[in-house]
Amino acid sequence: MANIQDFSGYNPTWCPGCGDWGIGIAIKQALIQLGLDPSSVGAVFGIGCSGNMNDFLNAYAIHSLHGRAIPNAIGFKIANHKMPVIVIAGDGDTYGEGGNHLMHACRGNHDITVIVHDNGVYGLTTGQSAPTAQKGFKSKSTPTGIIETPINPLALTITSGATFVAQSFAGDAIHTISMIKAGIEHKGFSVVNILQPCVTFNKVNTYQYYLQRVYKLDENYQKNDFKIAVQKSLEINDEKFPLGIIYQNKKATYSDQLPQLKDSTLVDKKRFTDIDQISKLFI
């Protein structure tokens, strides 16, 4: 079995106190607990402080372009659907630059897990507002307060067709580990939105801010009820943050529905050589 050391690359360069530390450890723990090792997991990183985890986490990985981690992961998965593929990216990457990809990946129910570091700011570019920033949030790019209302990642993904949507808080590592594990174990498109303070550039959404506003879903919560899930997801519009699996349902994944993949992964398939089958269509 792999251990933390096996998954550890370079020492992280995150700011002291950054939520990324907790998420980084949670991801490694989740992978270990699932019995994976660096050779058996695919990871695609976005661009940002969170994406910099590429150098700190060992895996078969792509450090992608900003916003494009999800399509890379979809391609990775269709070529080798037996391998778990995770996306590690920020809120700007997932909900801003790559918003269109997110929506359509939900529709496709591709069996990948998207782990989003949601801190409301662009850290790596030194503090501009992200699509999840609360309306009125003052940042370098919105000095008088952001005009747009924030994206609701939970409602957006649930209504777009994601079959697993969870939320956790970077300050609660144990819960975050369990959400990431459940996301990877889920067959289908899974999103884990992790609320995360940026200690350097976001003085509003602090640890204290979240601790006062997060709460765990209770055991009787009906996570497989679409309407209840949508309703629950709307609570974040009022700055109330439910933690747990907001929505989960069973549906055939994208690769489940490809007869080409019935007997083998695409990468291990035997080459097709009967070109006459194609030629005859044109005679």
When asked if residue 62 is in the footprint of other proteins (CB under 8 A), the reply is yes
- Residue 104 burial class via C-beta count within 10 angstroms: exposed 0-12, middle 13-18, buried 19 and up: middle
Q: Is 272 among the residues that bind other proteins (CB under 8 A)? A: yes
Closer of 219 and 272 to other proteins (Cβ): 272
Out of 76, 122, 189, 241, which residue is the one contacting other proteins (CB under 8 A)?
Answer: 76
- Residue 112 burial by CB count (10 A; 0-12/13-18/19+): exposed, middle or buried? buried
Contact in structure between 50 and 117 (CB atoms under 8 Å)? yes
Out of 5, 144, 220, 277, point to the residue binding other proteins (CB under 8 A).
Answer: 277
- The residue with tokens 């007869």 is 259
Span interacting with other proteins, options 44-52, 165-173, 176-184, 230-238, rule CB under 8 A: 44-52
Cβ 194 to other proteins, closest distance in Å? 22
DSSP state of 245: E
CA–CA dist 187, 190 (Å, integer): 8
Determine contact, residues 92/279, Cβ cutoff 8 Å.
Answer: no
d(CA 54, CA 59): 9
By the rule CB under 8 A, 282 interacts with other proteins: yes
The interface with other proteins within residues 208-237 (CB under 8 A) comprises none
Cβ nearer to other proteins, comparing 63 with 187: 63
Query: How far is 78 from 252, CA to CA, in rounded Å?
Result: 14
Q: Does 35 bind other proteins (CB under 8 A)?
A: no
- Name the site residues for other proteins (rule: CB under 8 A): 9-10, 38-40, 42, 44, 47, 52, 54-55, 58-65, 67-68, 70-80, 83, 100-101, 103-104, 258-261, 266-267, 269-273, 275, 277-279, 282-283
